[in-house]
Amino acid sequence: MSRHCLCMMLLVFSLRLPASSTQAAADRQVAITIDDLPGIGAESMTAAALTEMTSKILAALRQDNAPAVGFVNEVKLYKRGEVDARMQALNLWLDSGFELGNHTFKHTSLNRSGLEAWEDDVIQGEPVIRMLLAQHKMKLRYFRHPYLDTGADLETRRKAEAFLSRRGYLVAPVTVDAWDWNFAGVYEDAKKRGDNNLLEEVVRLFLSYHDAVFAYCEQLSRDVVGYEPRQVLLLHGSQLEADHLRELLQLIRKRGYRFITLEQALLDPAYSLPDTYVSIEGRGWLEHWAITKGKPPQGAPEFPPQIAERTKALRGY
């Protein structure tokens, strides 16, 4: 076969590849972020349980060479007789080479609390994180909005952004969010009750839904941005992540991703796109950009109804 014919065949084959396959060959990238540290439900956990959970999460990240930033609600540190031990659970992140960011003191929504109260909560959420970072010769630089609430109107949003900038923060965006906290609550309840069948079902749905959400976000990225930017995944510190994060990371790798730092992700030009999204409802940045362009996203995968129903029952809805 001539070299010319071979080149033409390769060209035709490459044109027939689906976009997702082409992107995978071009090296997909994702940064891992984990919110609500030292953990979801930390108020009802002992310091020893928090430390064990944290150690398992960090071990999974290290095994897959996945950099991560953990976002802290410092209110969860203040339990009588356990403050130092809870701080040590946070310190494990830094000792292991990871980074911490601010998630406000008590998970305060900018959209629901008002700007002044939210600003106070941002400041109140800094002291311990700054101290621990300084001990590791690091600076506090990332902020994650609770509920992804970035402002219900544009004036409030821009004032909040200016406030964060003055305090030296970069806002940590999110492009992939599969609502893992919903699964985590059902998982924790099933584990307490020893319901092994439900535990298996939760894990299966947790992984399959993440797979579906990644596929959706990849397609939405191509539709809105024109390519798949370096993604930022939102997770939460929980027993579910402690037990099954490794499986999720392996699933992500199978989709063609390699793990990068949040700093590397934010170098992607997509994060400089125009963004005028405002609403009482927080959403991810792919949705921000789509709505800013006047193209509200459609076709998101359905959240597993059995998990939604159990979550409502647990919360007494």
Q: What percent of the chain is modeled with pLDDT above 70?
A: 92
By percentage, how much of the chain surpasses pLDDT 90?
Answer: 91
What is the reported pLDDT for 154? 98
Q: What pLDDT is recorded for position 255? A: 98
Geometric angle at alpha carbon 223, from 218 and 225, rounded to 5°: 85
Res 151: pLDDT? 98
First to last CA, the chain: 68
Residue 22, in any domain of the structure: no
pLDDT of residue 317: 76
Q: Is 14 within the bounds of a domain?
A: no
Residue 56 maps to a domain: yes
Average pLDDT, the chain: 93
pLDDT number for residue 316: 86
Instruction: Tell whether 3 is covered by a domain.
Output: no
The Cα angle at residue 76 between residues 151 and 161, in degrees rounded to 5: 20
How does pLDDT run across 191-222, given as a tens digit for each residue?
999 999 999 999 999 999 999 999 999 999 99
pLDDT for 39 beyond 80: yes
Q: How much is the pLDDT for 2?
A: 38
13 has pLDDT over 80? no
Tokens, residue 236: 């939460």
Whether residue 16 has pLDDT greater than 70: no
Give the residues across from 177 on adjacent strands.
234
Pick from 24, 97, 101: which is nearest to 61 by CA? 97
User: Does the structure show a pLDDT above 70 at 22?
Assistant: no
- Asked whether residue 17 carries a pLDDT value surpassing 80, the answer given is no
User: How would residue 44 be classed by pLDDT, with cut points 50, 70 and 90?
Assistant: very high
Residue 9 pLDDT > 70: no
Instruction: For 131-154, write each residue's pLDDT tens digit.
Output: 999 999 999 999 999 999 999 999
- In total, how many domains does the chain have? 1
pLDDT classification of 26: cutoffs 50, 70, 90: low
- 19: in domain: no
CATH code (residue 295): 3.20.20.370
Q: What are the φ and ψ backbone dihedral angles of 242, each rounded to 5 degrees?
A: -60, -40
pLDDT above 50 for 21: no
Alpha-carbon span 72 to 70, nearest angstrom: 6
CA dihedral 86, 88, 94, 96 (to 10 degrees): -110
Inter-residue contact 177 to 284 (CB < 8 Å):
yes
Residue 168 forms part of a structural domain:
yes
> What average pLDDT does range 168-172 have in this prediction?
99
For residue 15, pLDDT beyond 80: no
Residue 208 lies in domain = 27-315
What does the radius of gyration of the chain's CA atoms come to, in whole angstroms? 21
* Range of weakest confidence among 5-9, 78-82, 134-138, 279-283: 5-9
Is the pLDDT assigned to residue 20 strictly greater than 70? no
